[in-house]
């Protein structure tokens, strides 16, 4: 089944319900399909990590619909670091933000002192975060060592019925996953 349209209001409502109930969703992002869930639900994040065969120490990305959804992470930072992050958003750039007040759970942050955050301009990602009313975990939809899914059939092949909901929509126009930049050091990781 090809997916070419964006999710309907009903599909977004079902995705919201799934996320709030602790489920895992798969959805299109700027370049690849992603897996997402409520970042404050430890069991949901653990399910994603199990699906991906990814150690919790690596951490995962938070994706948001707007700067306001991640304002709690920006406000404690010096203004120059806030400006640096804001210069990349919205867009396909993930910024590593110091989590100075430890506001993000360890199962999201991993072993790091910073949290990876992206304010997306992708319409499906934005709609999902708006519907959920919070930033979501966003990690590529693939088991460790496999290529990220670029089509819905790959999502199904990788995970079958282990995902609670597939959210339809097109991928964005990017060929590579988001760049990751440490806003403190300026170092680019991807």
Domain range for 171: 9-182
Q: What is the pLDDT of residue 189?
A: 83
Q: Which CATH number is 124's domain given?
A: 3.90.870.10
Residue 2 placed within a domain: no
* pTM of the entire predicted model: 0.92
Mean pLDDT by 10 residues, the chain (190 residues): 63 96 97 97 98 96 98 97 96 95 95 96 96 97 95 95 95 84 89
Q: What is the pLDDT of residue 54?
A: 96
Residue 135 placed within a domain: yes
The residue with tokens 């990876």 is 116
Q: What is the pLDDT of residue 5?
A: 58
Q: What is the pLDDT of residue 177?
A: 74
Number of structural domains (the chain) is 1
Q: What is the pLDDT of residue 105?
A: 96
Long-range CB contacts (within 8 A, 24+) of 103-107: 103/72, 103/73, 104/39, 104/62, 104/73, 105/39, 105/40, 105/42, 105/45, 106/56, 107/42, 107/45, 107/46, 107/49, 107/56
């Amino acid at each position: 089944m090809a997916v070419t349209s964006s999710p309907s209001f009903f599909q977004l409502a079902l995705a919201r319900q799934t996320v709030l109930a602790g489920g895992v969703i798969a959805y299109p992002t700027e370049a690849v399909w992603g897996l997402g869930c409520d970042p404050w639900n430890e069991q949901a994040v653990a399910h994603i990590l199990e699906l991906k065969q990814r150690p919790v120490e690596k951490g995962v990305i938070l994706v948001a619909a707007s700067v306001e959804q991640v304002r709690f992470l920006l406000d404690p930072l010096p203004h120059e670091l806030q400006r640096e992050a804001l210069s990349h958003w919205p867009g396909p750039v993930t910024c590593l933000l110091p989590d100075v007040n430890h506001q993000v759970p360890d199962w999201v942050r991993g072993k790091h002192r910073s949290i990876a955050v992206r304010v997306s301009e992708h319409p499906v990602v934005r709609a999902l975060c708006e519907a959920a009313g919070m930033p979501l975990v966003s990690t590529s939809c693939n088991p460790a060592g496999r290529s990220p899914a670029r089509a819905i059939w790959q999502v199904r092949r990788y995970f079958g019925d282990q995902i609670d909901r597939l959210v339809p929509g097109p991928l964005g126009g990017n060929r590579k996953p988001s760049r990751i930049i440490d806003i403190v050091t300026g170092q680019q990781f991807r």
